[in-house]
Structure 1
Amino acid sequence: MENIINKPRVGVLALGRETFDIPYAKEILKQVCASLHSLDIDIIGDPVNLCCDKETTLKTADFLKKQDVDLLLILQITFTDASLTMDTVKTLACPTLMWSFPEPRTGGRLRLNSFCGVNLANHALSRESIKIQTIHGLPDNKNSIDQLLEVAKAAAIIKALKKMKIMVIGDHPTGFDACNYNPLLLKQYFGVQIDCEPLPDFINEVKELPDSIADAAYDRRAKDFSNLSEMDQTATRKTLKVYSGLKEKAKMQAYNGIAVRCWPDFFIDYGCAACGALALMNEDKIPCGCEADVLGVLSSLLAQQVSGDVAFNTDLVDVDSIGNTVVFWHCGQAPIQMADRDGILQATVHSNRKLPLLSEFALKPGRITLVRITQGEGKLRLMIGGGEMLKAPLPFSGTAGTARLDIDAQSYRERLISIGLEHHTTLFYGEHRPLLKKIGQLIGLETIDLTA
């Protein structure tokens, strides 16, 4: 099932106190509402009404809770004490953003005292280990509006991840501790559900599928790779049956991603490479990771939610400190959307096991973002990075690209080693680090930019 990026659902609550300048407060609120309705978000609630008492506030909070909003936006129009905010935040238990507003320094009456209300509430919440986001600016301030939109997007992505399911087929290979995972910890931070199936069971399921189930995938791949007919046809069709089995499992059981123990079992027990099947799944935006790497799949799901596009779970395989470049590679499972169409696109065999089916092409040039939910040093953190994928020949067989990162190659190598980063890193196109940082803040994960 392809992951759909929905518009953020933002529940709005406007707070005020009648002892302040209510006509002016309502004027500010009217301007805020105009800004909110110009954004690509779903506004939930009745933001034009100012809540000035406990009864009205709690009634609004109860309504917003039933609407299952992604983000609670509290408009601190005038000063209020912290009690109404505390009650509302605890009722909804979702990411919260408070917006305070500056006012003219006239030498006269303090008409709103908005920021003081946010400061008071934030302190009270912090004493109960509840963290919120804040912005401060006029209703039409572009920076404030951009910050609001970023927080809303981050909150919507977090909500989407909480509804996702990942299947793990088989155990990670011996010695690949980078691919182990703590399901309780992932549930705590991301809410993702993880199910497991023994690899022999899945291979037997695929063997029982009719050979004709691979026909559609074969035709699809033949349009991409003119040399497909040169591959071992029996092994090629087995790979495509694996793809059909993964696709059906994802569809019937609503899995958003699948982590697969790819070797040596598929080569030995079934006579084909799993890589080509994983590539097709990645192209379908149902990320599949090899070596049963659950965190790699989850990182790819996060990348897809952030970008709305495909992701590629890679190995860093070469560091050139003289030319200041690095190579990101994997056997042949990059989605074809990432291919440099000016180069060769073809089918190939696994470089070590000599069985098909794998994709082979160089990655296209362009801005890239890196992300990994990492367990380095025994703690869950979010690693990010950025750089440029260069237009360069295929550096190694399979799917790979040569990149120049935002720091020199040697420093990047030293930094990833120093934090104990796994060998897998998710790569996707575009600059997405600001949104990833905001997601890390909202879920309470330390975020490390290895290229900053």
Structure 2
Amino acid sequence: MRIGVLPLARPTFDVPFAEAQAAAAFAALDATGHDLVGPRGLLFDAAATREALAALKGEALDRVLVLQVTFTDASMTCVIAEELTAPLLLWAVPEPRAGGRLRLNAFCGLNLAAHALKLRGKDFGWLYAAPDSPGLDESLALLVSGGLAAEGRGVEDRPDATFVDAKAVAGVLKRLGNARIGVVGEHPLGFDTCAYDPDAMARLCGASAERIELPALFDRARAADPGRIAAVRAETATRLGGLDAVDQEQLDRSLRVFAGLSDLAREKSLDALAVRCWPEMFTEYGCAACGPMAMMNGAKVPAACEADVYGALSALVLQELAGEPSLLVDLVDLDPASDTGVVWHCGLAPLTMADPSTPPRATIHSNRRMPLLHEFALKPGRITAARFTQAQGRPRLMIAGATMLQAPMSFTGTSGVLRFDADAGTVAERIMGEGLEHHFAFAYGEWRPQLRAVAGALGLPVLEIA
């Protein structure tokens, strides 16, 4: 076959490692004997991708392969799907769980692309495998032949609203009906996963959104009283080691963001926050939002990255059920060989989730190199994952059961190794086949029966992926 290949990446990740993985992937593709067309250098931005895409339009292609070398947003993958008529294939590359920075984050990019393509009714095949993985030649043959098509395989049903813990469910419904979500800035381009319609959210559960411009948060942060910030720093130092080791001016800015978010939540009676945490937080203000948002999570005001409103709403439900902080995460790896996955989101976890074997420390963002982030492994225990999903344009409640395992940190920041109740391969198939969002919330404990009752009361189908 004649296959057009477009290797997508971002320069904020580990470029030399990405280039090595791309070269290995091309070597594996060459070994298949198919005729490969297109650039072999990484495409780092929309302009480079559009140039490569224009060249491919003149080719008679049997397949188009998007090589997801690092995380990218889904915008260019959607353009590729619209402008090239050949069947679309996606191949994302795993990376070792080595305890250092998240060097590629390709699974998350694959997840984001799957969601966006499914929303647009686009068919695709997908593969998540290392270029040197056993049996790769068979996997590539299956991918190219159409045997790895993304098809919805989650278990969906419509539960009723009855449940023995009626008081807990009633509490969740009341909290949802009155919930006010502070939306600070816009979600990033190409993140359909974080888009929301305020009217649809009101119909869903009664919650409302309070729009806040990002410069307004920056202004509040800059105006915070120095004495107040000194007190916040002193209190933080009692629970978080390593504060003296990070850039102190950037740390001060981070703590001021916490003060600004706290004031906004109090003054506007906000139950949760959805914050545009990049790039302007780094490029215009000069710090990471992760630590401040982790502190808000610890204060029981769930804070969702990338202005993910439905993610914040999902975290609020789990917090209400668990009576303790919840967390919104990326699923950054699924490994069928060990039957485990890794959840991560920079350094956003509240201190209550720290494994005692890894005392919490301050650190810097793995890509942008600025504080403040929390760093520790997530503690072991039973967890429940959930998400108000809009996958394929259908409102549902996604739920999953899993166990967080005691394991060393897979990546810097806050991360945890978990085992879903369904095997890792099945979970991956359900996520990609259903086109689920790249964020889900979790809390410690078993809350699936209560969540099913909440869904029943809201008239929502339940989509169980594990």
After TM superposition, the score normalised by the length of structure 1 is 0.67
Structure 1 counterpart of 2:316: 301
- What is the 5 A alignment of 1:69-148? 147=163
Give CA deviations for 1:90-116 in whole Å, capped at 9, x if unaligned.
Answer: xxxxxxxxxxxxxxxxxxxxxxxxxxx
Q: Does 2:207 correspond to 1:186?
A: no
Structure 2 residue corresponding to 1:419, chosen from 423, 428, 434: 434
Contact kept in structure 2, 1:150 and 1:438, CA below 8 Å: no
Give the CA RMSD over aligned residues: 1.4
Query: Structure 1 residues 132 and 439, CA, compared in 2 at 3 Å: closer, same or farther?
Result: closer
- What is the 5 A alignment of 1:306-385? 306-385=321-400
Residue 371 of structure 2 aligns to a residue whose secondary structure is coil
Structure 2 counterpart of 1:284: 299
Residue 314 of structure 1 aligns to a residue whose secondary structure is strand
Give CA deviations for 1:166-210 in whole Å, capped at 9, x if unaligned.
Answer: 110100011111111011111012111111011122212221223
Distance 1:178 1:301 in 2: 18
| AA at the equivalent of 1:450 | I
Structure 2 residue corresponding to 1:166, chosen from 181, 186, 191: 181
Distance 2:353 2:188 in 1: 28
Structure 2 counterpart of 1:210: 225
Q: Does 2:436 correspond to 1:441?
A: no
Distance 2:231 2:327 in 1: 23
Cα drift, residue 164 of structure 1: 1.5
Query: Structure 1 residues 266 and 132, CA, compared in 2 at 3 Å: closer, same or farther?
Result: closer
Percent of residue pairs identical: 42
Cα drift, residue 225 of structure 1: 2.1
Greater Cα offset, 216-225 or 226-235: 216-225
| Alignment coverage as a number of residue pairs | 308
Distance 1:382 1:132 in 2: 13
| AA at the equivalent of 1:379 | R
Structure 1 counterpart of 2:236: 221
Contact kept in structure 2, 1:274 and 1:357, CA below 8 Å: yes
Structure 2 counterpart of 1:396: 411
Contact kept in structure 1, 2:355 and 2:379, CA below 8 Å: yes
The structure whose Rg is larger is 1
| AA at the equivalent of 1:197 | I
Query: Structure 1 residues 132 and 263, CA, compared in 2 at 3 Å: closer, same or farther?
Result: closer
Distance 1:319 1:220 in 2: 37
Q: Which has the higher contact order (CA 8 A, sep 6+)?
A: 2
Query: Structure 1 residues 322 and 215, CA, compared in 2 at 3 Å: closer, same or farther?
Result: same
Distance 1:376 1:132 in 2: 22
Distance 2:235 2:410 in 1: 26
Contact kept in structure 2, 1:171 and 1:292, CA below 8 Å: yes
Residue 224 of structure 1 aligns to a residue whose secondary structure is coil
Distance 2:330 2:320 in 1: 22
Contact kept in structure 1, 2:161 and 2:454, CA below 8 Å: no
| AA at the equivalent of 2:442 | L
Contact kept in structure 1, 2:311 and 2:387, CA below 8 Å: yes
Distance 1:308 1:448 in 2: 24
Cα drift, residue 133 of structure 1: 5.3
Residue 306 of structure 2 aligns to a residue whose secondary structure is coil
Residue 315 of structure 1 aligns to a residue whose secondary structure is strand
Residue 375 of structure 2 aligns to a residue whose secondary structure is strand
Unaligned runs of 5+ residues in structure 2 are 1-158
Cα drift, residue 290 of structure 1: 1.1
After TM superposition, the score normalised by the length of structure 2 is 0.65
Structure 2 residue corresponding to 1:253, chosen from 251, 268, 271: 268
Q: Does 2:253 correspond to 1:238?
A: yes
Give CA deviations for 1:362-386 in whole Å, capped at 9, x if unaligned.
Answer: 0000001000001101111100001
Give CA deviations for 1:392-442 in whole Å, capped at 9, x if unaligned.
Answer: 000000100000110111100110111111000101100000000010001
Cα drift, residue 213 of structure 1: 2.6
Distance 2:279 2:392 in 1: 28
- What is the 5 A alignment of 1:195-206? 195-206=210-221
Contact kept in structure 1, 2:398 and 2:464, CA below 8 Å: yes
Contact kept in structure 1, 2:161 and 2:453, CA below 8 Å: no
Cα drift, residue 132 of structure 1: 7.6
Cα drift, residue 154 of structure 1: 1.4
| AA at the equivalent of 2:452 | K
Give CA deviations for 1:270-291 in whole Å, capped at 9, x if unaligned.
Answer: 1100111000000000011111
Structure 1 counterpart of 2:445: 430
Contact kept in structure 2, 1:155 and 1:442, CA below 8 Å: no
Query: Structure 1 residues 378 and 133, CA, compared in 2 at 3 Å: closer, same or farther?
Result: closer
| AA at the equivalent of 2:349 | A
Contact kept in structure 1, 2:169 and 2:453, CA below 8 Å: yes
Cα drift, residue 353 of structure 1: 0.3
| AA at the equivalent of 1:250 | A
Contact kept in structure 1, 2:217 and 2:257, CA below 8 Å: no
Structure 2 counterpart of 1:86: none
Contact kept in structure 1, 2:296 and 2:303, CA below 8 Å: yes
